[in-house]
Amino acid sequence: LRKRTKTAKISIEGMTCNSCVQTIEHQIGSYTGVESINVSLDNKEATVDYNPELITLDSIKDAIEDMGFDAAINHPSL
Amino acid sequence: MTTHEYKVEMTCSGCSGAVTRILTKKLTEPGSSFDVDLENKKVTITSELPADTLTEMLKKCGKEVSYIGVK
């Protein structure tokens, strides 16, 4: 079984409370190709499970920026 | 230029900061201006753009937006 889901971390600046977190989780989680998203207010970071055949990491990042937050992709250091 | 008033469900400075950032980025026509009032959950925008376009702009932040009317 080939697993298509990829996991990525995106750092997000500008969140101050849980309502920010929930808004992002709700909005981004509704996109096709995003399987799950978990936003941590403490780490200023979102952990996203996504299907790269349906959505790119860049468009997820752009979507967060469109919501008015600064987002940056955390490239895993291999 | 028309001044429009909107009610936006903002709960914290992060929410109003997000709205401010969106408007700073998208509201680029000369002479336009805006004001974000977190306490009264109100956003006032002076622009030549139609009210619907501004509503869509505000909705991008994922919060509930309702149009109050022209000031």
Residues of B within 8 A of A69 (CB-CB) are: 18, 21
CA–CA dist A55, B28 (Å, integer):
29
State the pLDDT at residue A52: 93
Cβ-count burial B26-65 (b if 16+ within 10 Å, e if not): bbeeeebebebebeebebebebebebeebeebbebbbbeb
Residues of A within 8 A of B21 (CB-CB) are: 14, 68-70
In this structure, what token pair is assigned to residue B68?
């109050």
Instruction: Give the domains, in start order, of chain B with CATH numbers.
Output: 2-70 (3.30.70.100)
What is the pTM assigned to this prediction? 0.83
CB atoms A67 and B15 under 8 Å = no
pLDDT for A10-66, tens place per residue? Answer: 999 999 888 889 989 999 999 999 999 999 999 999 999 999 999 999 999 999 999
State the pLDDT at residue B55: 95
In this structure, what token pair is assigned to residue B46?
């002076």
CB atoms B61 and A24 under 8 Å = no
